Structure 1
C-alpha cells in the first residue's frame, strides 16, 4: 500500500491567523497603514515568525483584511451560486440588503480614511485595495445587472451607470449622515425598506 505523503512543516493555526487579521483590522482603523508588524503581532498575542508564516508582508496582510471585510457583503462562492439563478426583484433586494448592511456601519469612515491614507503613501497599492474592497461589491452588482439585461429582465443600458443609479437609491444622503456620526446606523428594518424602495424605483425606470 502506498504511503500517504505528508505536507512539509506544521499546519497553519487558523485561530492565530484570525487573531492576526482581527488585530490588523483594529490597528489599521485606529492608526492607518503606518502600523507595524510588531504592533500587530503583539496585539494578536503571537510571534512575528507566526505572522510571517501566514502573511508574506504587511501589504499582503492589509489585502487579506480588506478582502475579509468585502466578503461580509458576499463571498465569491455565494455570488457564484447567487448568479446562477435568474435575476428577479427579490434577488436584487436580497443582494441590496447585503450591500447596504455592509456600507451601513459607522466604522466605514475608518476604512475611507485608511484607503485615502494608502492612496497618499502607497499610490501603486491604492487601486488594488480599492478593487478588493469598495470596488468589488460594485463590480458584482454590475455583473448582476448585465445578467438581468441578457435575460430580458432589464432594459439594455450602460450597466455601470445603472449600478451607480441603484446604489444611489439604496444609500442616499443618509449614508453621509451615518459616516459623519450625526445619526445612528440604519436598523435592519430601515435597510430593508430602503432597498425595497430603491429596487422598486429602479425597475420602474430600467425594467424591460
Structure 2
C-alpha cells in the first residue's frame, strides 16, 4: 500500500513557509503576497500554489497549525480537569506573550477596516475556531459530569476572557505585563480555579441558559 505521509523535505518546506508567513504578517499585515512568502521561505511561487492552492488557503494552514499547538493539551487523555486547563492556559498565554504576535495584532487591527473580508476570515478561522475547540472539550466534560451543564460556547468564551485578562492589552500599549513564566502560571491557576468554582458540577448558582 503506498504511503501518503509527507516527506521530511516537504515537512521542512512547510515549516519554512509557515515561519515566513508569520514573519511577514508582523511586518506587512494583510498586504503580504505569495511572492514575498516564496522569497522569504526560499522557494518558488509555483511551489506555494502547488502546495496550498491560494493565499487564503496558505493563511488557513498557518492558523490551523497555531490552533493545533494552542489546543494540544486538550487532546491529552485523563481526568485532571484543573491540570489540563492550566496547561492550556499557559500555552495560550505564552503564545500571546510572543513579541511577533503582539506586533502582528497591532498591525492587523490597524488595517482591518481596509481589508474587512480578510480580517473577518482571520477572526473566523482563528478566534472562532479556538472557541469551538474549547467548547467541544468543555461540552465533553459536562457530559461526563465533571462540570455543570451549561452553554459550552458561552463557557469557552468566558474562560478564554478570564485566561487573557488585560495582559494582552498591556502588551499592545507597551506597559508592564506578566512577562515571567511564574507570573503567568499564577494567573493561569487563579483564572482556572475561578472558572472551575463557577462551573462546578455541585454548583447551585444560576440556572443553565436555555
Q: Which TM-score band (shorter chain)?
A: 0.7 to 0.9
Counterpart contact for 1:115–1:130, Cα < 8 Å = no
Match of 1:33 in 2: 30
- Aligned-pair distance for 1:127? 4.1
Q: 2:79 aligns with which of 72, 76, 86?
A: 86
Pair 1:160-2:153 in alignment: yes
Distance 1:119 1:51 in 2: 28
Match of 2:140 in 1: 147
Counterpart contact for 2:71–2:133, Cα < 8 Å = no
3-state DSSP of counterpart to 1:107: helix
Q: Deviations over 1:57-116 (max 9, x none)?
A: 2112121222222233134xx64x42x533522222222222222223333334434377
Q: 2:108 aligns with which of 106, 114, 118?
A: 114
Pair 1:101-2:94 in alignment: yes
TM-score by length of 2: 0.78
Match of 1:195 in 2: 188
Aligned residue-pair number: 198
RMSD: 2.9
Q: Alpha carbons of 1:102 and 1:135: their partners in 2 closer, same or farther (altered >3 Å)?
A: farther
Match of 2:168 in 1: 175
3-state DSSP of counterpart to 1:65: helix
Q: Alpha carbons of 1:22 and 1:5: their partners in 2 closer, same or farther (altered >3 Å)?
A: closer
Q: Alpha carbons of 1:178 and 1:6: their partners in 2 closer, same or farther (altered >3 Å)?
A: closer
- Aligned-pair distance for 1:133? 1.8
Counterpart contact for 1:19–1:44, Cα < 8 Å = yes
Q: Alpha carbons of 1:5 and 1:98: their partners in 2 closer, same or farther (altered >3 Å)?
A: closer
Q: Alpha carbons of 1:18 and 1:193: their partners in 2 closer, same or farther (altered >3 Å)?
A: same
3-state DSSP of counterpart to 1:26: helix
Distance 2:18 2:157 in 1: 31
| Unaligned runs of at least 5 residues, structure 2 | 202-210
Counterpart contact for 1:70–1:134, Cα < 8 Å = no
3-state DSSP of counterpart to 2:99: coil
Q: 2:55 aligns with which of 54, 58, 61?
A: 58
